Chains A and B, each alone.
Chain A
Amino acid sequence: MRQKDKTILLVEDNPDDELLTLMAFRENNILNEIVIARDGEEALDYLFGTGPFKDRDTTILPQVILLDLKLPKVDGLEVLQKIRETAETGYLPVVILTSSREERDILKCYQLGANSYIRKPVDFEQFSNAIKQLGLYWLVLNESPM
């Protein structure tokens, strides 16, 4: 599998943040396909091939999920819990990408099996740098079980 084939699932409800994230990926020459889910329900539908994604080949899983916490309908923690409970997605790398630095959020995410927790910095330069590191680590360096 070439690196380009590895998709990234970005779960983000804020269109500005979505665009900024995409900008940061482009700036760092990360050209993988990025699937965007705008709430928790859409993310779960995509992963498990339900709802509007019922025809999707669910054997193809993203290389990494970038998950915001505060989401409409089903929030990030519930999405994470669902992913970990399901055998097929149990080991999917999930990186929490959020505004919050509340200790309870960080703790809860790791308790639920998040692989990483990144707080989106206000400074775009820092954010872009974080996205670069993240892409390098999860898309290039990291060996996934799937």
Chain B
Amino acid sequence: MPGGFNKSEAWFKGLLESAPDAMVITNADGTIIIINAQTERLFGYPRHEIIGKKVEFLMPERFRPAHTQHRQGYIETPKVRGMGVGMELFGRRKDGSEFPVEISLSPLKIANEEGLNVIAAIRDITKQVQSRKEIKILNENLEQIVQERTAELEKLYQEVNSMNAELESRVMKRTWELEESNKELESFSYSVSHDLRAPLRSIDGFSNKILKDYGHLIDEQGRDYFFRVINASQKMGQLIDDLLKLARLSRVEMNIQTNDLSLLADAIASEFKIAYPERNIDFVIQPGLVARVDRSLMQIALQNLLGNAWKYTKNRTEAKIEFSSFQRDNKTIYFIRDNGVGFDMRYVNKLFGAFQRLHSPTEFEGSGIGLATVKRIIRRHHGTIWAEGDVDQGAVFFFTL
């Protein structure tokens, strides 16, 4: 049926030309009998220059002799398979340039024709090879980067380690130094408490004795001088005691517990009221001010703060002392406010220094150790303390814990 044949030939041609790969059909002895347009494009030959050539014509010369052998082997055991699996295959263009290819082989028996034909689908894999190469280079780069980074990290790690070791040895050294200076401080306060007080006792004791046993031999002025000597030695005794107390504050071990500061303040206020019933003071203490503090240290701090408020409101007929708190930046700020004599803000930075006083001892008694003590206690609780006031307008002491 010539019409039928023509129709299937047209089908075959259409199929061949529409294939995405270069299609090369050879006969059993390797002579190219049919190619498609892709083949022309891929290899750069017009069709008539390829037809009739041995298939090796499309390969680089160095592969040609071996291929002739392989070709014969294929004819003996023909089946559909990839060509040169695991090998790199190359095509050769008309201009002599080479390009990597992937080839699938299929045996093809054409009716009425002698022998076996072979159909080869040839695909240009330049791009794939290129990407593979790029991936390989990228991988190698990556590996190198990883190695470099690893080395860097190891170096850093070693540096950190050696820094840690150095830090640790420095911490140990500092700890030792601190322990030493603590010991020194302790022996210093020990001798202060012992040796400095002994001569004071003599000064006070013998002046006292002179006044008692020989007072009648001395005139009024002489006796006044002796009273001054006695007062001064007692005052110095007090100063030494205060100084020691202040030094002890820094050394004493803290026992941090949850404590109700309001109750502590209430108890202190009650003591004041009992000790000075003639004073008329309105104590306003916000209940439930709870904090994690060392109870005995905090008691000393509150005693000093409330004691100050008590002291500096003594000339007020309607004295008011307030202990309360508010929140700012997620922190509780406690404050003690009074309506007493206040202070000049110009001297605010002198308030917390040891033995610093803003009033004369005749106005308000005290050794100037109270607020230094409070500051030290607050600082030991990792808190801060500051004050605001105005002359005759009262004072406010704020602190955090």
Contact = CB atoms under 8 A, between A and B. Distances in A.
Interface of A: 14, 16-17, 20, 23, 70, 98-102, 120-125, 127
B197 A23 contact: no
A122 B201 contact: yes
11 contacts: A16-B205, A17-B198, A17-B201, A20-B202, A99-B194, A100-B194, A101-B244, A102-B189, A122-B204, A122-B237, A124-B209
A125 B193 contact: no
A16 B198 contact: yes
B237 A123 contact: yes
Contacts of B209: 23, 124
B384 interface: no
A100 B195 CA distance: 9
B195 to A, nearest CB: 8
Given A122-B237, A123-B234, A123-B237, A23 B205 contact: yes
Interface string B164-195: 00000000000000000000000001100111
Given A16-B201, A101-B244, A123-B204, 5 more contacts: A16-B206, A99-B198, A122-B201, A124-B205, A124-B208
**Interface-central residue, B198, B200, B244, by most chain A CB under 10 Å:** B198
Contacts of A98: 194
A14 B200 CA distance: 13
Interface in B202-236: 202, 204-206, 208-209, 233-234, 236
A14 to B, nearest CB: 6
B300 to A, nearest CB: 15
Nearest to B212: A27
B190 A20 contact: no
Nearest to B252: A103
Contacts of B202: 16-17, 20
A102 B209 CA distance: 29
Nearest to A24: B205
Nearest to A20: B205
A121 B200 CA distance: 10
Interface of B: 189-190, 193-195, 197-202, 204-206, 208-209, 233-234, 236-237, 241, 244
Contacts of B234: 122-123
Nearest to B213: A23
Most chain B beta-carbon neighbours within 10 Å: one of A120, A123, A124, A127 = A124
Contact of B197 (A102, A122, A125): A122
Give the 9 A-B residue pairs with the shortest CB-CB distance, closest first.
Answer: A122-B237, A124-B205, A16-B202, A124-B208, A20-B205, A99-B194, A122-B200, A99-B197, A124-B204
A127 B209 CA distance: 12
Contacts of A120: 197, 201
B201 A127 contact: yes
A135 B190 CA distance: 28
Contact of B201 (A20, A100, A101, A102): A20
B198 A14 contact: yes
Given A123-B204, A124-B205, A102 B190 contact: yes
B235 to A, nearest CB: 9
Given A122-B197, A122-B233, A100 B190 contact: yes
A100 B201 CA distance: 13
A102 B202 CA distance: 21
Contact of A101 (B193, B204, B208): B193
A100 B193 contact: yes
Nearest to B207: A124
Contacts of B193: 99-102
B155 to A, nearest CB: 51
B330 to A, nearest CB: 38
B366 to A, nearest CB: 18
Contacts of A121: 201, 237
A125 B234 CA distance: 11
Contacts of A101: 193, 241, 244
**Residue from B193, B201, B204 having most chain A Cβ neighbours under 10 A:** B201
Nearest to A103: B248
Contacts of B208: 124-125
A12 B198 CA distance: 12
Contacts of B201: 16-17, 20, 99, 120-122, 124, 127
A121 B190 CA distance: 16
Contacts of B197: 99, 120, 122
A121 B189 CA distance: 17
A76 to B, nearest CB: 11
In the complex, which of the residues A14, A98, A99, A120 has the most CB atoms of chain B within 10 Å of its own CB atom? A99
B194 A127 contact: no
B253 to A, nearest CB: 11
Nearest to B245: A101
Contacts of B244: 101
A85 B16 CA distance: 121
A139 B157 CA distance: 75
